[in-house]
Every structure is written in structure tokens, then in C-alpha cells.
Structure 1
Amino acid sequence: MRAGHAFACGAALGQLGDLIAGDPRRGHPVAVFGRAAAAAERRLWRDHRGHGALYTALCAGGATAAAALAARAVRSSPAATVALTAAATWSVLGGTSLGREALAVAAALEAGDLAAARERLPNLCGRDPQALDAAEIARAVVESVAENTSDAVVGALVWGAAAGVPGLVGFRAVNTLDAMAGHKSPRYRRFGWASARLDDVAGWPGARLTAVLATLAGPDPRGALRAWRRDAAGHPSPNAGPVEASFAGALGVRLGGTLAYAGRVEHRAVLGAGNRPPEVADIARAVRLSRRIGLLALAVCAGGRLAVTALSASTEEGTR
């Protein structure tokens, strides 16, 4: 079995596992990595970019190297390679848990339980929930679903297609480090710089594919493309901008604007200017769009890897 077929089969099985089971409540590999990264931070933290770069290299590089060694150990067995790819794919994808958390917040809002919605919101994003009303929570959830569709699903599949199990694990490690240390709080402004910049680089292709798929799979392709072209550059994140803008246009809602995050207030550009503010019902619409994008991303990434494998085989035969 060639590498492309092993990735396609393993990734499909891994995504099926995520759709059926989601993330485990205990012992998740990403949580284990997070605890190890937190321990490394306690030893390495200094208010200095160099120490942050060392921290990023050790954590992300160590996880990627371990995955590469595991892939090398099973490469002589097609069944073991598929199994390892499936396990890695399941462990790095978070689409099902993302949807569940978003819909749980929506259910609390629909029941009029604003306190419960505020309590669950930190499971999705780092907003300060206590000052948010129902409309602002709905906006925060839709934005989080959009951004995490790229971070927790599409980006991992892109890097898996490009580099197999090391790509899957390495991308998730980089994304986790950014979530832990990549924000602009006083503690991480310098120490987390390398994690944030590496995440920007690693997330670039997945974010663009997510925006393309949101445009194609959403209910308003023209609106998605228009918002992406017009508004994405105004977002402070080079990757969240295209994703959130395309979701805003596809769903016909207005995202962005003022938000409170990590103890500070930010005034961001409006995405989907002229559209209506998000409502509670738009959370479910965003989750449905996210699920369609995840399935399409699997098809694109697996299909792309298979096409490269077929081309490589054809080239080998032609040179004989």
C-alpha cells in the first residue's frame, strides 16, 4: 500500500472516529501534550523571545519527532500505518467537540439561561463572558466555530496530507502552543512570540482552504467571497480574518467589532458589513457549515494525496 492510500484510509477512519466519539473527557493526547508543555514553560519561561523560541522548538519539535519515529517504526506494515494515521487523525481533530460545545451554548441561550451560556463560553474561546449579553455570546460562538474549523479540522488535514502522521501531530502541537502562549498578555508578549508566528505560518494553507470551502459550501457563495475580499485584511490575525469573513458572508451575518479578550478590550474591523447581527439560531447554522467543510476538507486532502501518489507512480513507471 502506497503512502497516499494509507493516509486516505487512515484519515477517513480517524475522522469517522471523531464524528462518532468526539474527544475523550480524560487522557486525551492533546491534553497530555498540553501538560508537558506547561511543565516545560515553568522551567524555560523568561520575558525574552529567545527563551520562547527555545520553548517552541523543544515542544513542537519534540512532538513532531516522536510522531516521525512512530511512523518510521510501522512503515513496513500497511495495516499498522493505516492504524497509526487513524489514531493520529482522531487525536488531532476536534470538529465534533467544537460543534457540541457550540450547540450547548446555543441551547442555554434558547432556554434563557444566560449564566449557563456564559459559563460554557470559555470552552470555546478566551472572551471575558461576564459582560456579554445573549447577542454578543452568539457572535462569539459563531466566530469561534469559524476559526476553530480551520484550527481543529482543516489545518490538521492539510498538514497530514502534506507530511503524514508527523504533519498531523506537528500542526496540532503548534496550534496548542499558540493557544497556551501565543496571546498578547504581559507574560507572553515576548515569550509567546515564536509560538504565535509559527502558528501563523502553519495555519496559512488551512485557513485559505477553509475560506474556499466556506464559500463553496455555504448558503451564499457570492456573499462569502465578497466579505472575504473586502473585510479579511482588517482582522488582526492573517488566518482568522479570511475564515471569519467567509463565514460571515456565507451565513449573512456581521462578525467582528469590539470584544473583551484576556483582560483587554479590542476594537476589530467589522466582517460582513451590512449584514445583520448573529442570532442564536445562527450558531446551529455555523455548526452545520463547519461539518460540511470538514467532510469536504477530508475529500480534498485525501484526494490530493492520492493524486500525488498516482502521479509519482506514473513517473516511476515512465522512467523504467
Structure 2
Amino acid sequence: MSRSPASTRLDPVAIGLLVGFAADRVLGDPRRGHPVAGFGRVAAAVEERGYAPRRVRGGLLAGGLVAAVAGTALLERRLPPTMRAVTATVATWAVLGGRSLEREGEAIGTLLTEPDLSGARARIRNLVGRDPSRLDGDGIARACVESIAENSADAVVAPLFWGAVAGVPGLVGYRAVNTLDAMWGHRNARYERFGWAAARLDDLVNWLPARLTVALNAALAAVGVGSGGGADDGATGVTRAGHVLRTVLRDAPAHPSPNAGPVEASWASVLGVRLGGTNHYDGVDEDRGQLGDGPSVTPSDIPRATAHLRRLSTVALITLVAGRAAARHRRH
């Protein structure tokens, strides 16, 4: 039986991505009953009952939790189109974190401007795991910009990517993976083996979205966004985009994360700053290399980073919804 013209035109998932993105921009994260927090409580209970310092145990528990979430979300495909669009809207709103990330950056920038260094040190803990007690204003600003950069992929581009590819199961399945990595993907005695699978799964599902983020940053640099990719003011768009890509190829391998490294390096190029360096985590120093060849970050760079996050998020949404529409058109 052939599909009606309306059924081929209207895409509940695309509608949900667009409206859910708008809801995140206006409202930020849900203040009460956040489903991600609820999943985190379930994961904590599963860990308490099933923990063992073995990779197989951690892999089975992580895989089971993600499969349960994504499998349950498949049921939405039995709903009528209007309810599917509503479900996709709510799921998109719940899994995106762009507006809340932006608000944290704005709050930290205000504290550094006042200046309230102790308040900024306390607030930066919402974004990073490094020890802020020895950070000065510029160190806190660098931590803030690096977190905005890394989470532009984790909290915006990646959920939109998996939503465009796999609908609601992609949205909630991705967020489940990302949440488990945040809970279990630590390099310490407790999670080194138990959290190995969660960390590797997060690396896997973020690989393509991280590279898409780099490509989008290169495209934005090409049209003159940011600092022009660190190139001269008279540089062509191709030159500016090329600078972003060269910076990523040169600097990202020094970063310990296969995905955060390329993303942060591309941000460093677009903003014309230098990111990376040595961070302190619970008494352990971690060298993240030097990303970019601009000057060190200062508090004045935080508003530039939050403004770029808005641009990047919007371009990612348009790109992915358009890509989904094109793929859907080819199928029909």
C-alpha cells in the first residue's frame, strides 16, 4: 500500500528535534523529575547490587541498561504521528544540555568579573572534575571554556546526531551511554575495570559526532565566525577552515581523549586561543597537551565561548534535520 503524501511530508522526529531544541533554548534542563537523573539513580542501584571489579560484569550491566532504555523507546513507533512528535520533543528537550551549559558559563564569567574568585571556584565544579583550589581567574576561565567546548559535542551535537539517525531510541540511548560514562568511566581503582566498557562505549558513540563538530567549526570559521581560525583578517574562507583542520591534526593526538581532543582543538582554533595544559585531578596531574596556538584564555573569552556555543548548536540542528529530511526523501 502506498503512503499518503502527508505521511511522506511530516516527520515526527524532525518536528521533535526542532521543538525540543527550542524548548531547551527557552527553558534549559527540566528543574524537577529530570529523566536523566532518574536513570542515574537506577544505574546507581544496579551498580550497588551488581558491582564487581571485572570488565565483563561492567560491560553486561552497561549494555543491559542501555538496551533497556533504547528498547523501551522503540515502543513510541507504535504511536500515532502527533504523539510521536510530542514524544520526540520531550526526549530532545530532556537529553539536550546546551542552554544549561551556557548558563553555567555565563554565571562563572560574572563571578570572575566581579571578581569573586572563591565563588567561581565553587561554581566551576558544576562543569569540570579537576581540582579548582589552585586555579586563578585565568585557570578557571580555561576550565570553563574547555568544558563548554567538550560538551558542545556531548550535550548538543551528539544527541542531535543520534536523534536524527535513530529517532527517540537514538536520543535516549545516547544519553544513557553518556550518563554511564560520567558515572563509571573513571580511571581509578574502583572503576578501572568495572567502568571500562562504559567508557569505551561512550568513545564509540561520540566518535562521529565529535568529527561532525570539528567539521561544523571549520565551516563556521570559513564564513568568518570567531577569530577567523587564527588566520589573518584577510585570509580566505578556505584558509580559515584549513587552519581549524590543521590544528586538530597537529594538536588533538596529545589529548588523552580520542573525541574531546579534536573537539577542543577545533574550538581553540575558531576562538583563536590556546587550550589544554596540565590539570590536577584528586592529587594526580594529567597533561592534556597544547591545543591551538593563540594566547592563553582569560575571563573575557567566556562570553565569546557561550556565543559560539549558540551558533554551533543552531548550525548543528539545521545540518542534521536537513540531512535527515534528505535521507527520508531518498527512501520515499
Equivalent residue number for residue 37 of structure 2:
31
Letter of the structure 1 residue corresponding to residue 264 of structure 2 = E
Equivalent residue number for residue 178 of structure 2:
175
Residues 102 and 141 of structure 1 are in contact (CA less than 8 Å); yes or no, is this contact kept in structure 2? yes
Q: Which residue, 217, 229, 250 being the options, matches 2:270?
A: 250
Equivalent pairs: percent with the same residue? 50
Equivalent residue number for residue 278 of structure 1:
297
Equivalent residue number for residue 195 of structure 1:
198
- Residue 65 in structure 1 maps to residue 71 in structure 2: yes
Count of residue pairs brought into register by the alignment = 309
Paired residues for 1:85-96 under 5 Å: 85-96=88-99
Residues 77 and 84 of structure 2 are in contact (CA less than 8 Å); yes or no, is this contact kept in structure 1? no
Letter of the structure 1 residue corresponding to residue 54 of structure 2 = H
Equivalent residue number for residue 232 of structure 1:
252
Q: d(CA) in 1 for partners of 2:294 and 2:37?
A: 38
- Residue 287 in structure 1 maps to residue 306 in structure 2: yes
Residues 214 and 262 of structure 2 are in contact (CA less than 8 Å); yes or no, is this contact kept in structure 1? yes
Q: Which residue, 82, 86, 103 being the options, matches 2:85?
A: 82
TM-score w.r.t. length of structure 1: 0.94
Residues 226 and 249 of structure 1 are in contact (CA less than 8 Å); yes or no, is this contact kept in structure 2? no
Equivalent residue number for residue 299 of structure 1:
318
Residues 103 and 284 of structure 1 are in contact (CA less than 8 Å); yes or no, is this contact kept in structure 2? yes
- Residue 100 in structure 1 maps to residue 103 in structure 2: yes
Q: d(CA) in 2 for partners of 1:2 and 1:8?
A: 12
Letter of the structure 2 residue corresponding to residue 165 of structure 1 = V
Residues 4 and 306 of structure 1 are in contact (CA less than 8 Å); yes or no, is this contact kept in structure 2? no
Letter of the structure 2 residue corresponding to residue 83 of structure 1 = V
Q: d(CA) in 1 for partners of 2:245 and 2:269?
A: 7
Paired residues for 1:305-316 under 5 Å: 305-313=324-332
User: Counterpart of 2:193 in 1: which secondary structure?
Assistant: coil
User: Counterpart of 2:19 in 1: which secondary structure?
Assistant: helix
Residues 30 and 94 of structure 2 are in contact (CA less than 8 Å); yes or no, is this contact kept in structure 1? no
Equivalent residue number for residue 131 of structure 1:
134
Deviations 1:86-130 (A, max 9, x none): 111000000000000111111101111011001111111111111
TM-score w.r.t. length of structure 2: 0.90
- Residue 7 in structure 1 maps to residue 13 in structure 2: yes
Residues 175 and 199 of structure 1 are in contact (CA less than 8 Å); yes or no, is this contact kept in structure 2? yes
Alignment CA distance shift 1:5-1:82 (3 Å):
same
User: Counterpart of 1:286 in 2: which secondary structure?
Assistant: helix
Q: d(CA) in 1 for partners of 2:283 and 2:319?
A: 39
- Residue 56 in structure 1 maps to residue 62 in structure 2: yes
Deviations 1:31-74 (A, max 9, x none): 111111111111111111111101211221111111112x2331
Alignment CA distance shift 1:265-1:145 (3 Å):
same
User: Counterpart of 2:194 in 1: which secondary structure?
Assistant: coil
Alignment CA distance shift 1:2-1:195 (3 Å):
farther
Equivalent residue number for residue 162 of structure 2:
159
Could you list the structure 1 runs, at least 4 aligned residues long, displaced by more than 4 angstroms after superposition.
none
Alignment CA distance shift 1:111-1:66 (3 Å):
same
Alignment CA distance shift 1:3-1:162 (3 Å):
farther
Q: d(CA) in 2 for partners of 1:102 and 1:27?
A: 24
Residues 59 and 194 of structure 2 are in contact (CA less than 8 Å); yes or no, is this contact kept in structure 1? yes
Residues 4 and 308 of structure 1 are in contact (CA less than 8 Å); yes or no, is this contact kept in structure 2? no
Instruction: Name structure 2 gaps, 5 residues minimum.
Output: 1-6, 230-239
Q: d(CA) in 2 for partners of 1:253 and 1:48?
A: 41
Q: d(CA) in 1 for partners of 2:182 and 2:282?
A: 12
Please state how far the C-alpha of 1:3 moved relative to its aligned partner. 8.7
Q: d(CA) in 2 for partners of 1:216 and 1:45?
A: 45
